[in-house]
Amino acid sequence: MYAAPLQRLIGELSKLPGIGTRTAQRLAFHILRVQDEDAYALALAIREVKEKIGLCEECFNLAEGPRCPICQDARRDPTLLCVVEEPADVFPIERTHEWSGRYHVLGGALSPIDAVDEEDLKIAELYDRVQRDGVKEVVVATNPTTTGEATALHVAAGIHQRAAHVNVTRLASGLPVGADLEYADELTLGRAFAGRRTL
C-alpha cells in the first residue's frame, strides 16, 4: 500500500507501547510533513538515548555515566531506600517531592509464570546495599498487582532475615483523592479500610 521505507517506519512505530497501526500511520505521515531538521533531530535523539543512557551502577536507575543524578546528590539520605520495579517508576515518586532518600530499581517483578526469578532481578544487590550502607528504612513501592505484591513480600522477608533492625514499609493503597465511594470497587475500598489511619 505504501512505499517500502514508509511501510517500515509505520511497522517500527507500531511496535511502541500503546501505538496501534492507525496511530503509527499518523505519526509516520507527521514525520514526513515536518521540516527535515526536525525529523533528523528525532532520529538523533533516539540514537543518542540508546548510545548514552545505561543503568546506574548503584541503584540501577537510568543514568548517563556510571551513576545517576539521584545517587550523586549528597542531599539525599542513603539510609532511606525506595524499591521500585522499573526506572519509569522513579519519576512519579520524584514529582511528589515527598521522598528525600534514594532508590533501588529491581528491573521487574517476580513472576514464575513468565520465568522471572530472583536471579533475574536486582534483589541480591538490594540486600547488599541494605547491609553495606546502614539502611534504616526500605519503602517497597512495587506495583499493587499480584506480581508486585509477591515481590514486595519476598523482598521484605529477605531484608528481615538479613537485617532485622531495618524498618520495611509498603506504600499505602486505597481511594484516590477526589473519588466518590459509590464508584470504588470492592478491592480498592477494602485496601482503604485495611490501611486506615488515626486522624
Helix extents (H) in the chain: 4-13, 21-33, 36-52, 69-72, 90-96, 123-132, 146-162, 186-194
The answer to whether residue 198 scores a pLDDT higher than 70 is no
Please answer whether residues 80 and 135 qualify as being in contact, where contact means their C-beta atoms are separated by less than 8 angstroms.
yes
Reported as a single tens digit per residue, the pLDDT across 9-49 is 999 999 999 999 999 999 999 999 999 999 999 999 999 99
pLDDT at 174: 78
Q: Residue 97 burial (CB < 10 Å; 0-12/13-18/19+)?
A: exposed
Q: How far apart are CA 174 and CA 144, in angstroms?
A: 10
6: which residues sit within 8 A by CB, 6+ positions away? 28, 32
Residue 111's beta-bridge partner residues? 116
pLDDT at 179: 72
DSSP secondary structure of 151-165: HHHHHHHHHHHH-TT
Reported as a single tens digit per residue, the pLDDT across 34-91 is 999 999 999 999 999 999 999 999 999 999 999 999 999 999 999 999 999 999 999 9
What is the end-to-end Cα distance of the chain in Å, rounded? 64
Q: Which three cell numbers stand for residue 48?
A: 543518542
pLDDT at 12: 95
Place of cell 485495611: 194
User: CATH number for the 75-170 domain, one of 1.10.3210.10, 3.60.10.10, 3.40.1360.10, 3.40.50.720?
Assistant: 3.40.1360.10
Of 63, 88, 141, give the one whose Cα is nearest residue 71.
63
81 phi/psi in degrees, rounded to 5: -120, 135
Domain spanning 4-52: which superfamily?
RecR Domain 1 (1.10.8.420)
Q: Check residues 198 and 195 and name the one with the higher pLDDT.
A: 195
- List the domain boundaries for the chain: 4-52, 75-170
The answer to whether residue 180 scores a pLDDT higher than 70 is yes
Of 168, 3, 160, 151, give the one whose Cα is nearest residue 80.
168
